[in-house]
Amino acid sequence: MKHLWDTHFLLLILLYLLGAVTSQVNPGVCRYPLGMSGGQIQDEDISASSQWSESTAARYGRLDFEEGDGAWCPEITVEPDSLKEFLQIDLRSLHFITLVGTQGRHAGGIGNEFAQMYKIKYSRDGRRWISWRNRQGKQVIEGNRNAYDIVLKDLEPPIIARFVRFMPVSDHSMNVCMRVELYGCEWLDGLVSYNAPAGEQMSLPAYSAHLNDSVYDGAIIHSMTEGLGQLTDGVCGLDDFTFSHVYNVWPGYDYVGWNNESFPSGYVEIMFEFDRTRNFTTMKVHCNNMFSRHVKAFRQVVCYFHSESDWEATPLTFSPVVDEKNPSARFVTVNLANHMASAIKCQFYFADAWMLFSEITFQSDTAMYNTTLAPPKTGLTPNTQPAEDPTHKVDDSNTRILIGCLVAIIFILVAIIVIILWRQVWQKMLEKASRRMLDDELTASLSIQSETFGYNHNQSSTNSEQESNSTYERIFPLGPDYQEPSRLICKLPEFAQSSEEPASTSTAASKSTTTTTVVQDGVPHYAEADIVNLQGVTGSNTYAIPALTMDLLSGKDVAVEEFPRKLLTFKEKLGEGQFGEVHLCEAEGMQEFMNKEFLFDIPEDQPVLVAVKMLRSDANKNARNDFLKEIKIMSRLKDPNIIRLLAVCIYSDPLCMITEYMENGDLNQFLSRHEPEGQLALLSNAPTVSFNNLCYMATQIASGMKYLSSLNFVHRDLATRNCLVGKNYTIKIADFGMSRNLYSGDYYRIQGRAVLPIRWMSWESILLGKFTTASDVWAFGVTLWEILNFCKEQPYSQLTDEQVIENTGEFFRDQKRQIYLPQPVLCPDSLYKIMLSCWRRNTKERPSFQEIHKALLEIQP
Ligand SMILES: *[C@@H]1O[C@H](CO)[C@@H](O)[C@H](O)[C@H]1NC(C)=O
Ligand SMILES: *[C@@H]1O[C@H](CO)[C@@H](O)[C@H](O)[C@H]1NC(C)=O
Ligand SMILES: *[C@@H]1O[C@H](CO)[C@@H](O)[C@H](O)[C@H]1NC(C)=O
Ligand SMILES: *[C@@H]1O[C@H](CO)[C@@H](O)[C@H](O)[C@H]1NC(C)=O
Over the chain (861 residues), what is each successive 10-residue block's mean pLDDT?
A: 44 42 82 93 95 91 91 87 89 95 88 92 94 93 91 93 95 89 94 95 88 92 89 91 83 94 95 94 94 93 91 92 88 94 96 95 85 46 38 43 67 75 64 38 29 34 31 22 31 34 34 31 28 23 27 49 83 73 82 58 70 81 76 80 86 84 86 83 80 92 91 84 89 66 57 68 85 91 93 89 87 87 90 93 92 88 61
Dist CA 429 CA 519 (whole Å): 6
Taking the CA atoms of residue 309, residue 310, residue 315 and residue 320 in that order, the dihedral angle to the nearest 10 degrees is: 50
Dist CA 390 CA 404 (whole Å): 14
**Strand, helix or coil for residue 150:** coil
**Strand, helix or coil for residue 728:** helix
Angle, helices 773-788 vs 691-710, to 10°: value is: 170
C-alpha of residue 366 to centroid of ligand 2, in Å: 9
Ligand nearest to the CA of 322: 3
Peptide bond into 654 cis (omega under 30): yes
Which residue's CA is minimally distant from atom 11 of ligand 1? Answer: 214
Provide the whole-model pTM: 0.50
The residue among 692, 694, 686, 649 whose CA lies nearest residue 667 is 694
Angle at 770 between CA 766 and CA 773, to 5 degrees: 110
Which residue's CA is minimally distant from atom 8 of ligand 4? Answer: 185
Ligand nearest to the CA of 339: 2
Other beta carbons less than 10 A from residue 142's beta carbon: 12
C-alpha of residue 229 to centroid of ligand 1, in Å: 13
Backbone angles phi, psi at 214, to 5 degrees: -75, -15
Helix (H) or strand (E) holding 668: helix 667-672
Dist CA 242 CA 237 (whole Å): 9
Ligand 3 neighbour 322 (Cβ under 6 A): no
Find out if CATH 3.30.70.20 is the number for domain 32-186.
no
Question: Would you state the pLDDT for residue 429?
Answer: 58
- Single-letter residue type at 218: G
Dist CA 531 CA 173 (whole Å): 11
The residue among 717, 762, 228 whose CA lies nearest residue 453 is 717
Find out if CATH 1.10.510.10 is the number for domain 667-859.
yes
Ligand 3 neighbour 302 (Cβ under 6 A): no
**Strand, helix or coil for residue 58:** helix
C-alpha of residue 344 to centroid of ligand 3, in Å: 27
Ligand 2 neighbour 279 (Cβ under 6 A): yes
Which residue's CA is minimally distant from atom 4 of ligand 1? Answer: 210
Angle at 27 between CA 23 and CA 32, to 5 degrees: 95
Choosing from 233, 717, 746, 776, which is the catalytic residue? 717
**Strand, helix or coil for residue 122:** strand
C-alpha of residue 94 to centroid of ligand 4, in Å: 13
Which ligand 4 atom sits nearest the alpha carbon of residue 188?
Answer: 13
Per residue in 80-133, pLDDT (tens digit) is 877 889 999 999 999 999 999 999 998 887 888 899 999 999 999 999 999 999
Give the largest CA-CA distance in the chain. Answer: 116
- Are 209 and 202 in contact by the 8 Å Cβ rule? The answer is yes
Task: From residue 551, give the alpha-carbon distance in Å to each of 318, 394, 447, 629.
Answer: 84, 62, 21, 11
Q: Which of 299, 349, 350 to mutate to test the pocket of ligand 3 (most atoms within 8 A of CB)?
A: 350
Which residue's CA is minimally distant from atom 7 of ligand 3? Answer: 353
Ligand 1 neighbour 116 (Cβ under 6 A): no
The residue among 427, 431, 430, 388 whose CA lies nearest residue 407 is 388
C-alpha of residue 305 to centroid of ligand 3, in Å: 29
Which ligand 1 atom sits nearest the alpha carbon of residue 215?
Answer: 13
Which ligand 3 atom sits nearest the alpha carbon of residue 351?
Answer: 5
Ligand 1 neighbour 250 (Cβ under 6 A): yes
Ligand 1 neighbour 230 (Cβ under 6 A): no
Tell how strand 608-615 and strand 645-649 pair up: unpaired
Alpha helices in 673-720 (DSSP H): 679-684, 691-710
The residue among 230, 197, 226 whose CA lies nearest residue 214 is 230
Dist CA 325 CA 75 (whole Å): 64
C-alpha of residue 359 to centroid of ligand 2, in Å: 25
Helix (H) or strand (E) holding 614: strand 608-615
Which ligand 1 atom sits nearest the alpha carbon of residue 250?
Answer: 4
Per-domain boundaries in the chain? 32-186, 191-366, 546-661, 667-859
Dist CA 217 CA 123 (whole Å): 10
The residue among 438, 591, 600 whose CA lies nearest residue 524 is 438
Which ligand 2 atom sits nearest the alpha carbon of residue 279?
Answer: 1
Find out if CATH 2.60.120.1190 is the number for domain 191-366.
yes
Which residue's CA is minimally distant from atom 13 of ligand 1? Answer: 214
- Are 116 and 478 in contact by the 8 Å Cβ rule? The answer is no
**What is the 8-class DSSP label of residue 719?**
S
Backbone angles phi, psi at 613, to 5 degrees: -95, 125
Task: From residue 402, give the alpha-carbon distance in Å to each of 13, 15, 374, 399, 413.
Answer: 11, 15, 16, 5, 16
Ligand nearest to the CA of 249: 1
C-alpha of residue 779 to centroid of ligand 4, in Å: 61
Ligand 2 neighbour 277 (Cβ under 6 A): no
Which ligand 3 atom sits nearest the alpha carbon of residue 264?
Answer: 13
Question: Would you state the pLDDT for residue 428?
Answer: 58
Which ligand 4 atom sits nearest the alpha carbon of residue 29?
Answer: 14
Dist CA 779 CA 737 (whole Å): 14
List ligand 4's pocket residues with C-beta within 6 A.
30, 32, 185-186, 188, 369-370, 375
> Which fold would CATH assign to domain 546-661?
Phosphorylase Kinase; domain 1 (3.30.200)
Ligand nearest to the CA of 377: 4
Which ligand 2 atom sits nearest the alpha carbon of residue 366?
Answer: 5
Ligand nearest to the CA of 293: 3
The residue among 379, 383, 411, 396 whose CA lies nearest residue 99 is 383
Q: Which of 136, 207, 208, 214 to mutate to test the pocket of ligand 1 (most atoms within 8 A of CB)?
A: 214
For residue 801, indicate whether it is catalytic: no
The residue among 804, 63, 148, 794 whose CA lies nearest residue 491 is 804
Dist CA 246 CA 232 (whole Å): 15
Tell how strand 300-307 and strand 267-287 pair up: unpaired
The residue among 526, 523, 531, 525 whose CA lies nearest residue 451 is 531
Residues 451-464, buried b or exposed e (16+ Cβ, 10 A)?
Answer: bbbbbbbbbbeebe
Backbone angles phi, psi at 629, to 5 degrees: -70, -35
Dist CA 427 CA 522 (whole Å): 11
Which residue's CA is minimally distant from atom 13 of ligand 2? Answer: 340
Question: Would you state the pLDDT for residue 559?
Answer: 63
Residues with Cβ within 8 Å of residue 694, at least 6 apart in sequence: 787, 788, 826
Q: Which of 277, 279, 280, 365 to mutate to test the pocket of ligand 2 (most atoms within 8 A of CB)?
A: 279
Peptide bond into 157 cis (omega under 30): yes
Do domains 32-186 and 191-366 share one topology? The answer is: yes
Which residue's CA is minimally distant from atom 8 of ligand 2? Answer: 338
Which ligand 2 atom sits nearest the alpha carbon of residue 340?
Answer: 13
- Are 85 and 176 in contact by the 8 Å Cβ rule? The answer is yes
Ligand 1 neighbour 212 (Cβ under 6 A): yes
Question: Would you state the pLDDT for residue 593?
Answer: 66
Question: Would you state the pLDDT for residue 233?
Answer: 92
Ligand 3 neighbour 261 (Cβ under 6 A): yes
Residues with Cβ within 8 Å of residue 313, at least 6 apart in sequence: none
